[in-house]
Amino acid sequence: MSFRREKFIPRGGPNGGDGGNGGSVILRVGEGLSTLLHIHHKRLIQADRGRHGQGSNKTGASAPNQIVAVPPGTLVRDAASGEVLGDLVEVGQELVVAHGGRGGRGNARFATSTNQAPRRADPGGPGEELELELELKLMADVGLVGRPNAGKSTLLARVSAARPKVADYPFTTLEPYLGVVASPYDEYRSLVMADIPGLIEGAHEGAGLGLQFLRHIERCRVLAHLVDLSSGEDLAERIDGIRGELEAHSGSLQRRPWVLVGTKSDTLPGRSDADEIRDELDEVAARFGVESLVISAVTGEGIEQLLGRLFAMLADQGSAS
């Protein structure tokens, strides 16, 4: 609330300006982001308040919006109601999750012919407050699934510039890794491959690391189910177990195109035993109605054929870039 007071200008009248609007909180999909770790420990994110109005009919400055960068594939929910507020999948896509408050009105707003010296100024409105849940489902063309130590990280490191941790013990991979894979036949084509942490029996109920990362598989266009051929455990039983976990987590995964990949062929025993294992892999693949391939990420055996098959499957869906 302000009045004009200048020499030789009696009864200058009201000249209080309006206050500025508060900033809004906006989620924006950023390029190059693949996790939510940069905001994981930020319990409170808020925009600034608008500036006060001033005399001489000066309007206060509105506060800038608070932009929060998130990776593609971020699902935004209201934590209280569970309502999905948005699904951010494309770079540059924005979602206003909390609108800033309206600026107050100065007393110059209320001057009339009958009230030429109003002593009224309205305060601004409060900004929105809410608690959000952000869930990331990685955007990838191909998802590598399988039991721990099936060779997923080794394959990703072989065909891309990604460098996931590789070791000879279970659960080496504790978070998903993404890698860009170039086509072996066309230099202008590429795909994004995701290394999903190993799944074990009961993963859809929270066993191991499965429940935490199974959701990432939902956005993968094609799945490559890797199985270690050098393991002494029953091949069909291991494959059936992982397929069961995928289907128990989401019925849509049952219809997702996939290919069965036998790994670590370089560690197979004598030729007769190796042929027997390959035949068993083919039988299981035929039972599911999918194609099977045998690879070695160490020697490079079958890698080119596998990539060719994955690009062909994506092309059928029109999703390869």
Q: What are 169-226's pLDDT values in tens digits?
A: 444 444 667 788 888 888 778 888 888 776 655 443 444 444 455 666 777 889 999 9
| Measured distance CA(127)–CA(22) in Å, rounded | 7
Q: What is the pLDDT of residue 204?
A: 38
| Measured distance CA(293)–CA(270) in Å, rounded | 19
| 3-state class (DSSP) for residue 232 | coil
Average pLDDT over all residues of the chain: 82
Write the pLDDT tens digit of every residue in 283-319.
Answer: 989 998 999 999 888 888 899 999 999 999 988 876 4
| For range 24-50, the mean pLDDT | 87
Q: What is the pTM of this model?
A: 0.61
Q: What is the pLDDT of residue 218?
A: 77
Q: What is the pLDDT of residue 37?
A: 77
- Any alpha helices (H) in 200-302, and if so which ranges? 210-217, 235-249, 271-288
Question: Domains along the chain?
Answer: 1-136 (2.70.210.12), 142-317 (3.40.50.300)
Token match 């999905």: residue?
Answer: 84
DSSP 104-164: PB-GGGG--SS-SS----BPPPPPP---EEEEE----SEEEEESTTSSHHHHHHHHSS---
Q: What is the pLDDT of residue 316?
A: 83
User: 143 and 217 in contact (C-beta within 8 Å)?
Assistant: yes
